[in-house]
Chain A
């Protein structure tokens, strides 16, 4: 590999920052590009008015974030930040990357890449899910983390996974009345894996602390329950939940209502792979880790030379693993540019890999409990909107499937699903699962949507008046 290339890091979350720090430790300068105004990514989102007087300042996530930011500060002189910058795409024939910085188009060329774009929350359609007040759990968290707006007064957190607990605590600490945490996973499945969780005592303790916090503040937690529908007049007012069976089909006869003015929903994550897809990286598939994501070797190298992938975009394991992967990717780059030898890198990496394994093992123990199950596909009714950009209802998707549609690109052409501004980031995952289920295929055998340049809309002005374009 040529060594005169620069190294660009896409995404200033835990993985991207860790990669930059690791590089800086070897005196290698890097540039980080991120669409947000501040570093931290989604999970380490920084409060608008600083951390000092923030109600969450002692919460675990914030403590971890602060540690990473401090390391970053120490190496600031080697790291260039390009914030408010969206990566729009890549032009493989000329090996150039298109970005928009504050809306102005620019190109980057001759660069290696560490892609650390993170993940999205998987959108789960159900009757009423488009009502104002219904958000992703991450969306709710961002509001309390920013500390600017209070999302509501009476909140329910519904879905699966540990973030429900974290969000419940964060909302409660911010003064929101949390009326329920509704977890689809069954408690017995969790208990059966308790032994594996001991592999990571600190995480286990973190989890137990969250559960205890809910108990202490009388926040009801329903295991083995899921959302059925939501309703309200211009704003969510009620949500119906019900116990679910082993495949997460709700038992509607035993359903009950909760009165709320906001809901956080989270049924899984989706790796954000549009950029690596445009780079033509090959993907692998693991539904427990979010679906499709680029295939990597132990140094986070993708199948495209000079492109590394680290963090949730290469399989969703959360911030702790992302930080370790970021460092591994940086080590990979250092090996490939002959700054260090592979055996040196292996020594440095050994404790990182071991730690990552502990986290991963811990997470694997949640896979049975929290792994998405087919009952979720039964939630939307015929007239429930699935694709919000193009207003496509489930019935339209059913009709296309009846006409023989099996792949996402075909579904797009037949229904306009994924043709909107978001290019299917919202509904893409659900639709692919749904296609697979209806056609009795494996999800990995259903072709996904193909992302297109520009990944975010760009003004014509910035294209035509641009010397670089």
Chain B
């Protein structure tokens, strides 16, 4: 690549960066480049692809183990005192963010397939929280009662109903709470479909590493990459778990840390799950090609992307408990991804006060697949100096001003 000139450079081409590129590419007057190099552990390729808008907001899905880790920490802090397990819920504005994004997928599926030719396999599965005992029931009841305005998106099932719909489920399960609209996609095809549609609409994809952002008088004027320099007046930081390093290039301090997640995958199997599942141990989703994905751990191990015995065993046990048939099946592969974690589990979006032309689109933690769609709309509005459809304030970096910023394991829930 020779030195070139763009209006906007998007740093990081995971699901968030590609989604933004696609949205921005609708404005034909803009010249746009994505600069991306796939680092080991990049989140989008590792993800489960759940669109679990309610599930994740109330701490199911990827959040299950996160919640368990948190409550264990809290219990230990309180001297081993047993407390009632209360769901770990995110604030209402985050619910809206997730729900609004989820609504956009059916239309996106058609749009992206038309433009770029890639089908990201949107499957109407719903998400079921499988319950084994009274504690699980109390936990689910708590979720149900806390979001009365979403009652029409939830349904209770007793054991019989559950087994009728999911004949392979644990026969001793007491029932399930279903989140009717929490569906799934293929995460890397989603990224590909955004990228292809963006490319068709003129976005240049540059396979390189961003080394530096150049500013003049507090204003972004360009980006240095491993394959040359690009002059530009806007950069968007969508570098996932590496966003902090990008921020440092312009003295923007981002409280983003990698949160390791391991996943197990089965061989291809006939359709044995009609729905996605979360239990209090793990989540289980059968993808369109028949493979069943079992996730996932949340670990604080820096940028380590290796797999470990104990954690994989924990996931396998959780899955076999929910679906005993899995015991006779083979595990084909495991992997690890790095979620871009923030202290309050909420993404960091929008402009910053000290650098003109720099925009955050990072910290999507465990819902970046789901929230890529709404993120792209909001960032598009910001680029065009319009008021985003949802209030940007709670997503701005300055929410951490003055607060003591810790790692992702905040104690204040």
Say yes or no for A91: interface residue by CB 8 A criterion: yes
Which one of A146-154, A258-266, A289-297, A459-467 is at the B interface? A459-467
Give the size range of A's interface with the partner: 20 to 34
* From A98, A410, A457, A464, contact of B309 by CB (8 A): A98
Interface string of B194-228 (1 = CB under 8 A from A): 01100100000101000000000000000000000
**How far is it, in angstroms, between the C-alpha of A450 and the C-alpha of B335 when the chains are bound?**
10
Enumerate chain A residues within 8 angstroms of B330, measured Cβ to Cβ: 457-460
Query: Looking at the complex, which one of A92, A98, A414, A461 makes contact with B192 (CB distance below 8 Å)?
Result: A414
Interface flags, A399-411, vs B, CB<8A=1, else 0: 0000110110110
Instruction: Evaluate contact between B312 and A463: CB separation under 8 angstroms.
Output: yes
Q: How far is the CA of A458 from the CA of B265 in the complex (A)?
A: 11
A463 touches B192 (CB 8 A): no
Number of interface residues of B (CB under 8 A): 35
Q: Which of B205, B304, B326 contacts A460 (CB 8 A)?
A: B326
Q: Are B333 and A452 in contact (CB under 8 A)?
A: yes
Whether A107 contacts B309 by the Cβ 8 Å rule is: yes
Q: Does B328 contact A (CB under 8 A)?
A: yes
A266 to B244, CA, bound (A): 49
A458 CA to B316 CA, complexed, in Å: 12
Residues on A with C-beta less than 8 A from B382 are none
Distance between Cα atoms of A92 and B332 in the complex (Å): 20
**Residues 32-84 (chain B) with a chain A CB within 8 angstroms:** 38, 40, 45
Interface residues of B in 246-292 (CB under 8 A from A): 266-267
In the complex the two chains form, is B331's CB within 8 Å of A464's CB?
no
Write the chain A residue with the least CB distance to B117. Answer: A399
Contact between chains at A460 and B332 (CB < 8 Å):
no
Contact B308 A469 (CB under 8 A): no
Which one of A89, A93, A453, A461 contacts B328 once the chains associate, using CB atoms below 8 Å? A461
**By the criterion CB–CB under 8 Å, are B192 and A464 in contact?**
no
Q: Which residue of B lies closest to A468 (CB)?
A: B309
CB neighbors of B among A433-469 (8 A): 450, 452-454, 457-461, 463-464, 466, 469
Residue on B with the closest CB to A463? Answer: B316
Contact of B316 with A93 in the complex, beta carbons under 8 Å:
no
A409: nearest residue on chain B (CB-CB)?
B38
A286 at interface (Cβ–Cβ under 8 A)?
no
Contact of B196 among A91, A403, A421 (CB under 8 A): A403
- A458-B267 Cα distance, complex, nearest whole Å: 10
Does A78 reach chain B (CB closer than 8 Å)? no
Q: Is the CB of A92 within 8 A of B306?
A: yes
Residue A30 interfacial (CB < 8 Å)? no
Scoring A92, A410, A450, A463 by chain B CB atoms within 10 A of each residue's CB, the highest score goes to A463
Determine whether the beta carbon of B207 is less than 8 Å from that of A406: yes
A453, B334: Cβ atoms closer than 8 Å: yes
Judge whether A91 and B307 touch: CB under 8 Å.
Answer: yes
Cα(A404)–Cα(B198), bound, Å: 13
The CA-CA distance from A461 to B320 in the complex, in Å, is 9
- Find out whether the CB atom of A91 lies under 8 angstroms from the CB atom of B267: no
Q: A403-B196, A404-B205 are in contact. Are A93 and B304 (CB under 8 A)?
A: yes
Determine the chain A residues whose CB is within 8 A of the CB of B319 once the complex forms.
460
Residues of A within 8 A of B316 (CB): 460, 463-464
A406-B205 Cα distance, complex, nearest whole Å: 12
Q: Does A96 contact B (CB under 8 A)?
A: yes
Within 8 A of B (CB), among A90-141: 91-94, 96, 98, 107
Q: Report how far A410 CA is from B195 CA in the complex, Å.
A: 13
Tell me whether B328 and A421 are in contact (CB under 8 A): no
Q: A403 to chain B: which residues have CB within 8 Å?
A: 195-196, 199, 205
Interface string of A410-431 (1 = CB under 8 A from B): 1001100000010100000000
> Is B151 interfacial (CB 8 A cutoff)?
no
B301 close to A (CB within 8 Å)? yes
- A and B contact pairs by CB, cutoff 8 A, 27 listed: A89-B307, A91-B306, A91-B307, A91-B309, A93-B308, A406-B207, A407-B38, A409-B45, A413-B192, A423-B333, A453-B312, A453-B333, A453-B334, A454-B331, A454-B334, A457-B330, A457-B332, A458-B330, A459-B327, A460-B319, A460-B326, A460-B329, A460-B331, A463-B313, A464-B316, A466-B313, A469-B313
With contacts A421-B267, A452-B333 known, what are 4 further pairs, Cβ within 8 A? A454-B331, A457-B330, A460-B266, A466-B313
User: Interface on A for B, CB 8 Å cutoff?
Assistant: 89, 91-94, 96, 98, 107, 403-404, 406-407, 409-410, 413-414, 421, 423, 450, 452-454, 457-461, 463-464, 466, 469
Q: Which 8 A-B pairs have the closest CB atoms?
A: A457-B330, A469-B313, A463-B316, A92-B306, A452-B333, A413-B188, A461-B327, A404-B205
